[in-house]
Amino acid sequence: MFSPGNLRTTFDNSEYSKLIDYYVKEKYTLRYTGGMVPDVNQIIAKLRLLFEVAPLGLLIENAGGFSSDGYTSVLDKTIVNLEDRIQVAYGSKNEIIRFEETLYGTSRLKNVPIGVTA
């Protein structure tokens, strides 16, 4: 299941377009209701770190999933301003590895054993 944010970005960001194309090719189910909580699985968008990204990251990581801004867990980000915005992906370890590698060429989770937070 995937729920992409800001699909218009696929026109300007070829790596993001590749990631969306992968989800479609592999027959992932698209879920988009327009609400963040129902769409939290695999949402990728510029969201406010303090109010949206970090709280859901905490829930997901405590449930055994992972979060990423492309390089690190969203829980490791420093909040400087109330309106700080970042992109985010939530999902299983393998999905976050795919997100990080597809968009940025490498993943911090590649050699992390399952069940260990990174």
What is the SS3 assignment for the chain?
Answer: CEEECCHHHHHCCHHHHHHHHHHHHCCCCECCCCCCCCCCCCEECCEEHHHHHHHHHHHHHHCCCEEECCCCCHHHCCCCCCCCEECCEEECHHHHHHHHHHHHCCCCCCCCCCCCCC
How far, in Å, CA of 20 to CA of 115, rounded? 27
- Name the maximum alpha-carbon separation found in the chain: 39
Q: What is the pLDDT of residue 17?
A: 93
pTM (two decimals): 0.67
Residues in the chain: 118
* Residue 36: half-sphere exposure toward Cβ, Cα within 13 Å: 15
pLDDT digits (tens, 9 = 90+) for 85-96: 888 999 999 999
Instruction: Please say whether the dihedral angle defined by the alpha carbons of residues 95, 72, 103 and 41, taken in this order, is positive or negative.
Output: positive
Domains, the chain, ordered by start: 3-104 (3.40.190.80)
pLDDT digits (tens, 9 = 90+) for 22-51: 999 998 877 666 665 566 544 444 678 888
Task: State yes or no: pLDDT of 117 exceeds 60.
Answer: no
pLDDT digits (tens, 9 = 90+) for 63-75: 999 999 999 999 9
